[in-house]
Amino acid sequence: MGIESSLPTILTVFLTAAIDSINPCAIGVLILMLSVVLAGGQSIRRMLFLGTVYILSILAVYLAAGLGLVYFLSQIPLAVTEYLSIGVAVLIVIAGLIEIKDYFWYGEGFSLMIPPVFAKMLHGFASKTTVWGVAFLGAFVSAVELPCTGAPYLAIITVLSQYFDFTAFMLLVFYNIIFVSPLIIILFMVAAGKKLQDIKMWKQANRGTMRLATGLLLIALAWLLILIANGTINFG
């Protein structure tokens, strides 16, 4: 017997986005860019402006990617959607197990990280602190990290695409706002005088815990997708 549900609830979206938002790459690049701005003697106001451009660029690219994926998934015939959801669930479980592995053996074997060649490019782009340079940096960060760290986002998009209406659209927007919220917090913390080195140390000390939380969340989301695929949960 199926369950008629309005899932995902705001809480489901919030928790997924909150865990996904602890994004080592986006946070690391923001810290690097802010350190370049401050080392160059630019003002706090300028730093806030460039940081805002960077964050808005990430938000725009992630939202556009989400809408594009929702549109693509919504065009797939209903008969195929069940198998697609199961396929996505399997991929998400694999991603979740890899993340959990990194809690115990961080960086050993295969990990969901940006390839070193792209990481090196990001460091180079972060030194270009013009408005267009920072906007491109945000877009580039989003593009290269999405395939590596976008599993929670893919899970939510797959769920939302089952019954995409205005409410689902607003949930997608809400997800992306929560996703960039740590970047906003860090930006204002630095503007208020927080040392960048302290933030770097916190990120380094908690990276394993972040991976564990992400892995457990991904497995839970995969289970939700399977329940949707077999008709246990129905949207609409």
pLDDT, tens digit (0-9, with 9 covering 90-100), for 144-171: 777 666 778 888 888 888 778 888 899 9
The encoded tokens of residue 137 equal: 């940096």
Q: What string of DSSP letters covers 18-69? A: HHHH--HHHHHHHHHHHHHHHHTT--HHHHHHHHHHHHHHHHHHHHHHHHHH
> Is the pLDDT assigned to residue 4 strictly greater than 50?
no
> Taken in order 218, 219, 225, 229, is the CA torsion positive or negative?
positive
Amino acid at position 216, single letter: L
Per-residue confidence (pLDDT) for residue 21, from 0 to 100: 83
CB 50 within 8 A of CB 129: yes
Among all chains, which residue has been given the structure tokens 């309005």?
Answer: 6
Per-residue confidence (pLDDT) for residue 19, from 0 to 100: 80
- Domain hosting 175: range is 3-235
Q: Say how far apart CA 73 and CA 62 lie, in whole Å.
A: 16
The encoded tokens of residue 235 equal: 């949207």
CA atoms within 13 A on the CB side of 71: 6
| Helical residues (DSSP H) of the chain, grouped into ranges | 10-21, 24-39, 44-74, 78-104, 116-125, 131-149, 151-160, 166-191, 196-205, 207-229
> Is the pLDDT assigned to residue 2 strictly greater than 50?
no
The pTM of the full predicted model, rounded to 2 decimals, is 0.80
Q: For 187-226, how does the pLDDT look when each residue is reduced to its tens digit (9 = 90+)?
A: 999 888 888 788 778 878 887 888 888 888 888 888 877 8
**Structural domains of the chain, count:** 1
Q: Say how far apart CA 150 and CA 95 lie, in whole Å.
A: 10
Q: What angle do CA 58, 217, 137 make, to 5 degrees?
A: 15
Instruction: Choose between 36 and 189: higher pLDDT.
Output: 189
Q: Say how far apart CA 194 and CA 33 lie, in whole Å.
A: 15
> Is the pLDDT assigned to residue 99 strictly greater than 50?
yes
Q: Say how far apart CA 25 and CA 9 lie, in whole Å.
A: 28
